[in-house]
A and B are shown apart, each in its own frame.
Chain A
Amino acid sequence: MSPETVLRAEKLVKVYRSDSVETPALRGVDLEISRGEFTAVAGPSGSGKSTLLHLLGGLDRPTSGEVFLEGRALSSLSSEELARLRLERIGFVFQSYNLIPVLTVLENVAFVLELRGVPKKERERRAREILSELGIEKYADQFPHRLSGGEQQRVAVARAVVGAPAIVLADEPTANLDGENSRALIDLMRRLNDSRETTFLFATHDSRLLDRAKRLLILEDGRITADRAGEGPWDSVQVTQGA
């Protein structure tokens, strides 16, 4: 693997088993993500996007196959070690309910640094810095419920990047946003990708957002059916129909 490879997946298979019903969610995914990429994973509902991101982020374990984060095989780690790895090397943006309601915006952003044991002054300085870079420092002392959905997701992005992770995984971060806010959020992530060289991998089924991605993966029925590099825009028909 090249020295720039951040994340690599080999023959990832995930089968969900519940009450003797087996649902294959991933049927053998090979993938390599390099530093500085801004990659979108698109695909219809149920195609396995969330599952893939969970496995890549060490939130869940594959049925078979392996994930390497910066060269480390995740299967060799205990769940506590995985948590530590997530804390230190991965940023997450979830679909919703990202923020801790009892903490202010500033505290939410600083939270991952607090878990890492960064002293209060230092983590607040870094949190403020990222908030102002994203133009949302005016919300620093607000509680999340006072913010709009778009603002909340921007705070979540700030939290994901504040610890300078190896990669930010975002699972449908715009699912609850309208078109304008969705685009604004993706633009924001893209700006961070440009300015900080933060690596992003985000899932979406909104084809209008894909033209901001530098690389596009199409996932269908648990398999990657297309992998396009280069700037968009891509033909939206191509996207939804799997190239």
Chain B
Amino acid sequence: MRYALRSLRRARRRSLYTFLAAFYPALILVVMFGFVAGELRGMFESATKLETGHLQIRGGEELPGGALPIFSLPEGVLEELGRRGDLKLLTLRLDLPALASAGSRSLGVVVQGVEPKRVSEISPIPGLISEGRYLAGPGEAVVGEELAELLDLRVGDTLVLLSAHPEAGMGAGAVRVVGIFRAPQAEMGRTVVQVPLETARRLVRRENAITSVVAFVRGVEGPWDAWRISRTAKELKEFLPEGLAVKGFQELAPEVAVYMRIARPVLAAFSGIFFVLGGLVVLNSFYLSFLERTRELGVIRALGASRRWLMGAVMGEALFLAGSGAALGALLGAGVVALVEHLGGLRMPGAYSEFLRAFGLEPILHLRVTPWEVLGSALAMIAVAALSAWYPARRAARLDPVEAMRHVT
């Protein structure tokens, strides 16, 4: 529509403002989508890989004091689970509250009995060894730098573990420290002692004892795929013997799940502010342009243009500006996200990286934005602009030609 396009050129400055009013919100929203997804994925990965896996099978609810019930899987169940197509990795854990002593010092710790060959999938510790090596055989242990410092431990030293489980009672054993790891969180470095599963089982004097089966679900790449976890968890609950509990990621890492739930609404509300501002700029600029052009629009109506034509002319201008602004903004946002990813993610500045560390995140943010988010941001902005231009367009369409032509600008 030539009239609409020429009118935009006439008021270049205002057209530019209108363009930017659609451009910036779309850009900001897409980049924020990138950040939030990056943050969510980071939290999700650290929660699942540092700790919990996607889901766990347990012997029941947590016991008073926080320990997990000890149980054994019936014969063949583990094999059957392993044949399921939707489960990726199954590994057994036996976690025990314990007292760790070396020399004259003792500290409360959690003994994690793990399968050393599979553990790297659910624990970062094999990759964090700063001294010595990771577990290779029974009777060995790795400890965090913090714990080593507090207990004055070195590689090769002996550590005495005194487990105290509410159901299994007390158990004692000595292990040899073969490695020291640098934990991403001080809390973890102070409290975690990893030992092979059979070493932990000796503390409770029970063969096949475990506190959880940790599993990953295929096709889960980030928190946005959490529904797959829930689906598998539900199926497992029906398949497993009575009394066992299946915990999905949402229950295992509730703080992350809560953050995930609020992140998007918060983002939406936050970007809503930009959208409202953008909409107001569009409304303002089109209303001004309507006032400036009243006489001209009156002449057009007098000549016999239909209301639809007038409405279309104004809306056409708005949609062209907002459409190109929002599209370019969203694409640029996607470009920024892609570029940051291409350069290896965003290294967070000091204070913020501390915050991330507290959550157990690496201070590098991997931005991520889906085509749907890019498209959705652009369309949302266009819708806001269309809504804002609608009132001036309607005024233009309903002009009384005689009055409009008498209008003094």
Q: Give the interface of A toward B (CB within 8 A).
A: 54, 57, 59-60, 80, 83-88, 90, 92, 94, 97-98, 100-103, 107, 111-112, 115
Contacts and interface: CB of A to CB of B under 8 A. Distances in A.
B303 A86 contact: yes
B6 A102 contact: yes
Contacts of A57: 302
Contact of A86 (B2, B296, B304): B304
A101 B305 contact: no
B299 A94 contact: yes
Given A59-B402, A80-B307, 18 more contacts: A59-B302, A83-B304, A83-B305, A83-B306, A84-B304, A86-B303, A94-B405, A97-B295, A97-B405, A100-B3, A100-B300, A102-B3, A102-B6, A102-B7, A111-B303, A115-B303, A115-B304, A115-B309
A50 B57 CA distance: 89
A84 B306 contact: yes
Residue among A54, A88, A100 facing the most chain B CB atoms (10 A cut-off): A100
Top 7 nearest A-B pairs (CB, nearest first) are A87-B304, A102-B6, A86-B304, A83-B304, A60-B402, A59-B401, A102-B10
A112 B305 CA distance: 8
B299 A101 contact: no
Interface of B: 2-3, 6-7, 9-10, 295-296, 299-307, 309, 400-402, 405
A158 to B, nearest CB: 13
Nearest to B307: A80
A66 B10 CA distance: 41
For B2, B300, B303, B309, which residue has the most chain A Cβ atoms within 10 angstroms?
A: B303
B6 A103 contact: yes
A95 to B, nearest CB: 9
A102 B4 CA distance: 9
A100 B302 contact: no
Q: Which of B7, B400, B401 has the most CB of A within 10 A?
A: B401
A130 to B, nearest CB: 16
Nearest to B398: A79
A112 B309 CA distance: 12
Contacts of A115: 303-306, 309
A105 B306 CA distance: 22
Nearest to A85: B304
Contact of A92 (B2, B3, B295, B302): B302
B304 A100 contact: no
Nearest to B401: A59
A103 B304 contact: no
Nearest to B303: A112
B301 to A, nearest CB: 7
A112 B304 contact: yes
Nearest to A57: B302
Contacts of B299: 94, 97-98, 100
Contacts of A100: 3, 296, 299-300
Given A80-B306, A97-B295, A102 B301 contact: no
B407 to A, nearest CB: 10
Contact of B2 (A85, A87, A97, A107): A107
B173 to A, nearest CB: 89
Nearest to A51: B402
14 contacts: A59-B302, A59-B401, A83-B304, A83-B305, A85-B304, A86-B302, A86-B303, A88-B304, A94-B302, A94-B405, A97-B295, A97-B299, A111-B3, A115-B309
Given A80-B307, A115-B309, A103 B2 contact: yes
Contacts of B7: 102
Nearest to A116: B304
Contacts of B306: 80, 83-84, 115
Could you say which of B9, B304, B309 has the most chain A C-beta atoms within 10 Å of its C-beta?
Answer: B304
Nearest to A97: B295
A240 to B, nearest CB: 25
A157 B3 CA distance: 20
Contacts of A84: 304, 306
B9 A92 contact: no
B109 to A, nearest CB: 78
A80 B302 CA distance: 11
B395 to A, nearest CB: 15
A112 B6 CA distance: 17
A87 B307 CA distance: 13
Contacts of A103: 2-3, 6
A145 to B, nearest CB: 11
B317 to A, nearest CB: 11
Contacts of B295: 97
Nearest to A120: B2
A100 B309 CA distance: 15
Nearest to A83: B304
Contacts of A83: 301, 304-307
Contacts of A87: 303-305
A101 B402 contact: no
A84 B303 CA distance: 9
Contacts of B3: 100, 102-103, 111
A102 B304 CA distance: 18
